[in-house]
Amino acid sequence: MPPSFSVTGGRALKGTIRPAGNKNAALPILAATLLADGPCRIDNVPHIRDVETLLALLEHLGAAVKWDGPNTVTVDATKAEPRALDAKLSAKIRASILLAGPMLARFGRVSLPPPGGDVIGRRRVDTHFLALERLGAEITVGDTYKLEGKLTGADIFLDEPSVTGTENALMAAVTARGTTVLRNAASEPHVQDLARFLAAMGAKIDGIGSNTMTVEGGTLRAAPHTIGPDHIEIGSFIGLAAVTNGAITIDGVRADDLRSTLLAFERLGVRPRLDGTKLVVDADQERRIRPDLGGHVPKLEDGPWPAFPADLMSIAIVVASQCEGLLLVFEKLFESRLFFVDKLIGMGARIVLCDPHRAVISGPSPLRGQVVESPDIRAGMAMLLAALAAQGDSVIHNIGQIERGYERIDERLRALGAQIERRDDAR
């Protein structure tokens, strides 16, 4: 049997925890080391499966990769070659597509197998290729995607504010001849982090943090970088404190990344306190869903940054199940992301799944331990929160999904008083 988590719930978690580096920043930043003229030292890299897979893809291309510490990686891609990407490795993570932009920029061609990743609905790649095509790439679609061409700056309006599509276009544009304007660009914290790394390497980028970025193409040099804190992990820890009625301090946050997250939790009656770079979640939160004016049922919906992040919707649903009141959630981005609520219903949550994008949660409802399975990274973390809030014992299978996005999560939660054991194949 694959590894699983054995969890005994019903304990209030207490203590201090540091968020890991942002997974969704680490992946494009590591891909961008292909554009450097020497070794790049990247600090605060989360040591998780997705990162290991991307580093293996870089090694497959001929880059030298070295872990210099628990969360520090040096990548020297000076000897990398334009090989076809390994299909088995590419199938493990969606982020394999992030190598398209830098490989095209450096080598003028790339052969890319279809990317893998979470099964949370259709995840189109059209935005990537339409942007790269505007920069001058010729694209052939078959069993693999083949891109080839010399890149020239262009005025590009992305057909949707895709995070990875923006990142690919940005990494291609920084070495393209002339000026590129990226409009309707994604502006999430991880996109900003990639842009800051490229700027440290010498790229000229205006408009970081907005939906329009102007890029002057040029030559990049090697540079060090420290990845920012993962705002999705921070949101997960806020939820963890709320559902266990715990008192948790999250040390090392960036307040600007948390505005929409804190607003959403406040609507659920959970109000953390910012203290510099610390976020304090006190015990005995109100946990009462605030109705809209006139007593109407409130709605929590996600959207492109700076709206509430789609990756936190699963967490918010578990929290809402433990709060007094009624809430409608509207998950706009992925048509399969809400299907995990069946597992919560089996644990005792009162949830009506209206359609693939909307659910109504009525709380609070006592949760009981169950044997469940992690369907994807974020739903897996949500199931772990539910197990820690539940009375009794739970077993969570397929935890490889959780470990793709959360570093040493069992060890870190045990430090807060959680009863959680990782059971490996041999046990």
**Tokens coding 179:** 């000026």
Q: Indicate the DSSP class of residue 289.
A: P
The residue type of 315 is I
Distances (CA, A) of 168 to 102, 133, 145, 319, 355: 7, 12, 15, 34, 32
Active-site residue identified among 50, 118, 311, 376: 118
Beta strands in 309-426 (DSSP E): 325-330, 350-355, 358-363, 371-373, 393-397, 419-423
The torsion angles phi and psi of 152, rounded to 5 degrees, stand at -130, 140
**Tokens coding 377:** 């990274």
Q: Is the peptide bond before 364 cis (omega within 30 degrees of 0)?
A: yes
Tell me which H or E stretch contains 352. Answer: strand 350-355
Cβ 337 vs Cβ 366: under 8 Å = no
Cβ 240 vs Cβ 417: under 8 Å = no
Does 76 participate in catalysis according to the annotation? no
The residue type of 4 is S
CA 414 to chain centre: 23
Q: Just list the catalytic residues.
A: 118
